[in-house]
Amino acid sequence: MSGEVDQPLAGQADHPLVVEELTKDYGSVVANDAVSFAVKEGEVFGFLGPNGAGKSTTIRMLLGLLKPTSGTASVLGADIRDEAALTEAKRRIGYLPAHLGFDGEVTGEAVLDYHGAVKGESRRDELLELFTPPIERPVREYSTGNKRMLGLVQAFMHDPDLVIMDEPTAGLDPLKQEGFNEFVRDERDRGTTVFFSSHVLSEVRRVCDRVGILRAGSLVELENVEALLHRGGKHVRVHASDAAVAAITDLDGVVDPERFAEGAQFIYAGDANALLRELAAHDVRDVEIGEPPIEDVFAHYYGGEEVVEEETIGSEDEEETDEGEETAGDGAVDGSEGDGAGTTNA
């Protein structure tokens, strides 16, 4: 665990997103337990965790859709407890909720017209070339992926400074997912701050600068993606005789060795020189040394819960709720909580 988790906010109070001891207690479940971290300007930050870890709860509090039990956060300088300041800040925030409750009877075009009138749409055409929802059709005819693409256009079309997304690629096909990854990297280059939740590890590795890992409501890691992978050791696959394999896998730092007919593979977290010396001492037929699979790195934090390497297309959104459409600019109301935290800013 990085030391940053203990003192995450020192000197970071002016960051576009600052989360401070944020806690949400649903009674029997503490969905967020004193979560603290800050996201820098122009950073792409991945908020990771298995199902039920509390990611959506944090995100909904950041948008004023859910009231914290204690603690607070600020988005673009606005304290989320200050409704007027938050409403003002949301003009410069893009939001993509996990459940897209667009009115099914209207066309995608009408949805975008509505949002455009409220918050602006300077990038609408450009985004529609990248994400391609069939905007002339009523939303009820949309697939999950098409809805997600409409949501992405909606979230970015007013050229926000901060974008908050809950599982943005759920339901997108691999080509669109890759398009999304590229788009997010370009957004970072333009200086946009991007915060999104995911449980798709490969996506996080491709686009994020830093990750926060949430487990059962607590932030258990806050780390640079490269450093996290580095600390995860190397993946080694070696083809050699049984005797050589036995000596190599006996080295300090060898984790989970797995034998196969021609040799063995393992994670190596020891001294690189010791490994190279041992390899050189034997007649090695072949060796591959590379990054560990990212799921191995994260498995430690997920505590044996299922981790997802690639999202299964169309697996999400079967539990579409009937809560109101949630977007940053239109005054979404949290229909499920009844805690009076809904905001209206249209």
Ligand X SMILES: Nc1ncnc2c1ncn2[C@@H]1O[C@H](COP(=O)(O)OP(=O)(O)OP(=O)(O)O)[C@@H](O)[C@H]1O
Residues that bind ligand X (CB under 6 A): 26, 29, 31, 49, 51-57, 98, 199, 336-337
What's the CA angle centered on 337, arms 336 and 338, to 5 degrees?
A: 110
Q: Which is nearer to ligand X, 155 or 267 (CB)?
A: 155
Phi and psi torsions of 68, nearest 5°: -65, 150
Buried residues in 302-339 as b, exposed as e (16+ CB within 10 A): beebebbeebebeebbeeeeebbbbbbbbbbbbeebee
Q: Are 30 and 23 in contact (CB under 8 A)?
A: yes
Cβ proximity to ligand X: between 19 and 31 the closer is 31
Q: How far is the CB of 60 from ligand X (least distance, A)?
A: 8
Q: What is the separation of C-alpha 82 from the centre of its chain, rounded to a whole number of angstroms?
A: 26
To ligand X, the closest distance from the beta carbon of 167 in angstroms equals 7
What minimum distance in Å lies between the beta carbon of 276 and ligand X?
41
Contact 252, 274 (CB under 8 A): yes
Q: Give whichever of 56 and 154 is closer to ligand X, judged by the CB atom.
A: 56
Element (H, E) at 30: strand 30-39
Residue 73 to residue 29: CA distance in whole angstroms: 21
Tell me how far apart the alpha carbons of residues 222 and 70 are, in angstroms, rounded to a whole number: 21
Q: Could you tell me the smallest distance in angstroms from the CB atom of residue 342 to ligand X?
A: 14
CB of 30 to ligand X, least distance (A): 8
- Considering the complex, state which of residue 129 and residue 319 has its C-beta at the smaller distance from ligand X: 319
Q: CB-wise, 29 or 84, nearer to ligand X?
A: 29
